[in-house]
Amino acid sequence: MRVMAAIFALMFSLVACAADKAPAAYQAGTHYTVLETPVRTMDPSKIEVTEVFWYGCGHCFKFEPMVHQWSEKLPGDVDFERSPAMWNALMEVHARAFYVAKALGVFDQVHQPLFNALNLERKRLGNVDELADFFADFGVDKDKFEKAYASFGVASQVKQADARARSYKITGTPEIVVDGKYRISARQAGGQAEMLKVADYLVAKIRDERS
Protein backbone atom coordinates (compact mmCIF):
# COMPACT_ATOMS: atom_id res chain seq x y z
CA MET A 1 0.00 0.00 0.00
CA ARG A 2 2.86 2.33 0.88
CA VAL A 3 4.54 1.50 -2.41
CA MET A 4 1.38 2.41 -4.36
CA ALA A 5 1.05 5.66 -2.44
CA ALA A 6 4.63 6.53 -3.23
CA ILE A 7 4.08 5.81 -6.91
CA PHE A 8 0.97 8.02 -7.03
CA ALA A 9 2.84 10.80 -5.23
CA LEU A 10 5.70 10.56 -7.72
CA MET A 11 3.29 10.63 -10.66
CA PHE A 12 1.51 13.69 -9.24
CA SER A 13 4.84 15.43 -8.75
CA LEU A 14 5.90 14.73 -12.35
CA VAL A 15 2.59 16.01 -13.71
CA ALA A 16 2.88 19.17 -11.58
CA CYS A 17 6.41 19.79 -12.84
CA ALA A 18 5.31 19.30 -16.43
CA ALA A 19 2.47 21.76 -15.94
CA ASP A 20 4.85 24.32 -14.46
CA LYS A 21 7.13 23.97 -17.46
CA ALA A 22 4.35 23.91 -20.07
CA PRO A 23 4.54 26.89 -22.43
CA ALA A 24 1.80 29.52 -22.45
CA ALA A 25 -0.81 29.25 -25.21
CA TYR A 26 0.70 32.30 -26.86
CA GLN A 27 4.24 33.53 -26.39
CA ALA A 28 5.79 36.98 -26.55
CA GLY A 29 8.10 37.38 -29.51
CA THR A 30 6.36 34.58 -31.37
CA HIS A 31 2.63 35.32 -31.42
CA TYR A 32 2.80 38.97 -30.38
CA THR A 33 5.32 41.73 -29.71
CA VAL A 34 5.89 43.42 -26.37
CA LEU A 35 6.38 47.15 -26.93
CA GLU A 36 9.61 48.46 -25.44
CA THR A 37 7.84 51.62 -24.28
CA PRO A 38 4.15 51.26 -23.34
CA VAL A 39 1.80 53.79 -24.93
CA ARG A 40 -0.64 55.63 -22.69
CA THR A 41 -4.24 54.51 -23.13
CA MET A 42 -7.30 56.76 -23.17
CA ASP A 43 -8.89 55.30 -20.01
CA PRO A 44 -6.46 53.56 -17.62
CA SER A 45 -9.38 51.99 -15.75
CA LYS A 46 -10.23 49.91 -18.84
CA ILE A 47 -8.28 47.38 -20.91
CA GLU A 48 -7.90 49.10 -24.26
CA VAL A 49 -7.81 47.17 -27.53
CA THR A 50 -6.92 49.29 -30.56
CA GLU A 51 -7.17 48.27 -34.19
CA VAL A 52 -4.82 50.20 -36.49
CA PHE A 53 -6.27 50.17 -39.98
CA TRP A 54 -6.63 51.91 -43.34
CA TYR A 55 -9.82 52.11 -45.38
CA GLY A 56 -7.90 51.34 -48.56
CA CYS A 57 -6.26 48.20 -47.16
CA GLY A 58 -7.68 44.99 -48.63
CA HIS A 59 -6.62 43.01 -45.56
CA CYS A 60 -8.41 45.51 -43.31
CA PHE A 61 -11.50 45.21 -45.52
CA LYS A 62 -11.55 41.44 -44.98
CA PHE A 63 -10.82 41.82 -41.27
CA GLU A 64 -13.57 44.39 -40.61
CA PRO A 65 -16.53 41.94 -40.31
CA MET A 66 -14.53 39.74 -37.93
CA VAL A 67 -13.28 42.51 -35.69
CA HIS A 68 -16.69 44.19 -35.65
CA GLN A 69 -18.45 41.02 -34.52
CA TRP A 70 -15.72 40.37 -31.96
CA SER A 71 -15.84 43.91 -30.55
CA GLU A 72 -19.63 43.72 -30.08
CA LYS A 73 -19.15 40.91 -27.54
CA LEU A 74 -16.40 42.47 -25.42
CA PRO A 75 -17.05 42.70 -21.67
CA GLY A 76 -17.52 46.01 -19.90
CA ASP A 77 -13.94 46.31 -18.69
CA VAL A 78 -12.61 46.41 -22.27
CA ASP A 79 -12.65 49.44 -24.58
CA PHE A 80 -12.33 48.88 -28.33
CA GLU A 81 -10.85 51.72 -30.37
CA ARG A 82 -9.96 52.20 -34.01
CA SER A 83 -6.95 54.28 -35.04
CA PRO A 84 -6.21 55.08 -38.70
CA ALA A 85 -2.72 54.45 -39.99
CA MET A 86 -1.05 56.94 -42.29
CA TRP A 87 2.33 56.74 -43.97
CA ASN A 88 1.41 58.72 -47.05
CA ALA A 89 -0.76 61.68 -48.05
CA LEU A 90 -3.69 59.57 -49.27
CA MET A 91 -3.91 57.69 -45.98
CA GLU A 92 -3.96 61.00 -44.12
CA VAL A 93 -6.94 62.11 -46.24
CA HIS A 94 -8.78 58.93 -45.29
CA ALA A 95 -7.80 59.37 -41.64
CA ARG A 96 -9.41 62.81 -41.74
CA ALA A 97 -12.57 61.22 -43.19
CA PHE A 98 -12.64 58.82 -40.22
CA TYR A 99 -12.47 61.64 -37.67
CA VAL A 100 -14.92 63.83 -39.59
CA ALA A 101 -17.41 60.95 -39.51
CA LYS A 102 -16.91 60.74 -35.74
CA ALA A 103 -17.25 64.50 -35.28
CA LEU A 104 -20.44 64.74 -37.34
CA GLY A 105 -22.06 61.70 -35.77
CA VAL A 106 -22.30 59.65 -38.96
CA PHE A 107 -19.60 57.08 -38.30
CA ASP A 108 -21.96 54.10 -38.16
CA GLN A 109 -23.50 55.11 -41.47
CA VAL A 110 -20.28 55.68 -43.44
CA HIS A 111 -17.68 53.35 -41.93
CA GLN A 112 -18.44 50.22 -43.97
CA PRO A 113 -19.38 52.20 -47.11
CA LEU A 114 -15.94 53.85 -47.02
CA PHE A 115 -14.36 50.39 -47.03
CA ASN A 116 -16.65 49.34 -49.88
CA ALA A 117 -15.96 52.46 -51.96
CA LEU A 118 -12.20 51.97 -51.83
CA ASN A 119 -12.02 48.18 -52.06
CA LEU A 120 -15.03 47.15 -54.14
CA GLU A 121 -15.90 50.22 -56.19
CA ARG A 122 -12.23 51.17 -56.65
CA LYS A 123 -12.85 54.82 -55.85
CA ARG A 124 -9.87 56.89 -54.75
CA LEU A 125 -11.62 59.44 -52.51
CA GLY A 126 -8.32 61.25 -52.50
CA ASN A 127 -9.34 64.82 -51.70
CA VAL A 128 -11.82 66.89 -49.74
CA ASP A 129 -14.13 67.44 -52.72
CA GLU A 130 -14.49 63.73 -53.47
CA LEU A 131 -15.09 62.96 -49.82
CA ALA A 132 -17.62 65.80 -49.49
CA ASP A 133 -19.59 64.29 -52.38
CA PHE A 134 -19.35 60.86 -50.76
CA PHE A 135 -20.60 62.11 -47.38
CA ALA A 136 -23.38 64.05 -49.12
CA ASP A 137 -24.88 60.70 -50.14
CA PHE A 138 -25.42 60.11 -46.42
CA GLY A 139 -27.13 63.45 -45.82
CA VAL A 140 -24.07 65.46 -44.75
CA ASP A 141 -24.08 69.05 -45.99
CA LYS A 142 -20.95 69.72 -48.07
CA ASP A 143 -20.11 72.99 -46.33
CA LYS A 144 -20.47 71.31 -42.97
CA PHE A 145 -18.22 68.49 -44.09
CA GLU A 146 -15.54 70.84 -45.40
CA LYS A 147 -15.52 72.87 -42.18
CA ALA A 148 -15.14 69.73 -40.09
CA TYR A 149 -12.43 68.39 -42.43
CA ALA A 150 -10.38 71.59 -41.98
CA SER A 151 -11.12 71.96 -38.27
CA PHE A 152 -8.48 72.13 -35.55
CA GLY A 153 -10.14 69.25 -33.71
CA VAL A 154 -9.91 66.85 -36.63
CA ALA A 155 -6.34 67.94 -37.43
CA SER A 156 -5.34 67.30 -33.80
CA GLN A 157 -6.87 63.82 -33.80
CA VAL A 158 -5.08 62.96 -37.03
CA LYS A 159 -1.74 64.04 -35.55
CA GLN A 160 -2.42 62.03 -32.40
CA ALA A 161 -3.28 58.94 -34.44
CA ASP A 162 -0.09 59.28 -36.45
CA ALA A 163 1.99 59.67 -33.28
CA ARG A 164 0.21 56.71 -31.72
CA ALA A 165 0.96 54.44 -34.70
CA ARG A 166 4.61 55.50 -34.61
CA SER A 167 4.79 54.69 -30.90
CA TYR A 168 3.17 51.32 -31.56
CA LYS A 169 5.83 50.77 -34.28
CA ILE A 170 3.19 49.52 -36.67
CA THR A 171 4.59 47.45 -39.53
CA GLY A 172 1.39 47.06 -41.57
CA THR A 173 -2.38 46.98 -41.40
CA PRO A 174 -4.44 45.70 -39.79
CA GLU A 175 -2.66 45.34 -36.48
CA ILE A 176 -4.04 45.19 -32.96
CA VAL A 177 -2.51 46.78 -29.88
CA VAL A 178 -3.66 45.60 -26.46
CA ASP A 179 -3.52 48.10 -23.61
CA GLY A 180 -0.70 50.03 -25.22
CA LYS A 181 1.69 47.17 -24.39
CA TYR A 182 1.30 44.36 -26.89
CA ARG A 183 1.15 44.47 -30.70
CA ILE A 184 -0.41 41.68 -32.76
CA SER A 185 -0.08 41.13 -36.50
CA ALA A 186 -1.63 38.45 -38.68
CA ARG A 187 1.84 37.21 -39.61
CA GLN A 188 2.79 36.62 -35.99
CA ALA A 189 -0.55 35.28 -34.84
CA GLY A 190 -0.98 32.98 -37.82
CA GLY A 191 -3.95 34.68 -39.46
CA GLN A 192 -6.62 37.28 -38.90
CA ALA A 193 -8.94 35.08 -36.84
CA GLU A 194 -5.95 34.11 -34.68
CA MET A 195 -5.20 37.79 -34.06
CA LEU A 196 -8.44 38.02 -32.13
CA LYS A 197 -7.65 34.86 -30.17
CA VAL A 198 -4.29 36.32 -29.15
CA ALA A 199 -6.07 39.55 -28.20
CA ASP A 200 -8.47 37.56 -26.00
CA TYR A 201 -5.50 35.86 -24.36
CA LEU A 202 -3.77 39.17 -23.66
CA VAL A 203 -6.94 40.80 -22.33
CA ALA A 204 -7.34 37.89 -19.89
CA LYS A 205 -3.64 38.15 -18.97
CA ILE A 206 -3.95 41.85 -18.16
CA ARG A 207 -7.17 41.29 -16.24
CA ASP A 208 -5.48 38.64 -14.09
CA GLU A 209 -2.49 40.89 -13.46
CA ARG A 210 -4.74 43.74 -12.35
CA SER A 211 -6.70 41.55 -9.98
Q: What is the DSSP string of 134-199?
A: HHHTTT--HHHHHHHHT-HHHHHHHHHHHHHHHHHT--SSSEEEETTTEEEEHHHHTSHHHHHHHH
- The contacts found for 105-109 with CB under 8 angstroms, 24 or more apart, are 106/135, 106/138, 106/139, 106/140, 109/138
- Between 159 and 10, residue with greater pLDDT: 159
pLDDT level of residue 24 (50, 70, 90 thresholds)? low
Mean pLDDT of the chain: 91
- Residue 29 pLDDT exceeds 60: yes
Please tell me the distance from the alpha carbon of residue 111 to that of residue 107, in angstroms, as a whole number: 6
Return the pLDDT at 23. Answer: 44
User: What's the confidence (pLDDT) of residue 199?
Assistant: 98
72-86 average pLDDT score: 98
- The Cα 109–Cα 129 span in angstroms is 19
Is pTM beyond 0.75 here?
yes
pLDDT band (50, 70, 90) for residue 25: confident
What phi and psi, each to the nearest 5 degrees, are found at residue 103?
-65, -35
Beta bridge partners of 79: 48
Condensed to tens digits (0 to 9), the pLDDT of residues 96-136 reads 999 999 999 999 999 999 999 999 999 999 999 999 999 99
Confidence band for 61, pLDDT divided at 50, 70 and 90: very high
Specify the pLDDT at position 179. Answer: 98
> Which is it for strands 47-53 and 78-84: parallel, antiparallel or unpaired?
parallel
pLDDT for position 5: 44
Q: How would residue 80 be classed by pLDDT, with cut points 50, 70 and 90? A: very high
pLDDT per residue over 37-56, tens digit each?
Answer: 999 999 999 999 999 999 99
Who has greater pLDDT, 9 or 69? 69
Number of H helices, E strands in the chain: 9, 5
Q: What is the mean pLDDT of residues 186-205?
A: 98
- Structural domains of the chain ordered from first start: 27-210 (3.40.30.10)
Alpha-carbon gap, residue 207 to 199, rounded angstroms: 12
State residue 199 phi and psi, 5-degree precision.
-60, -45
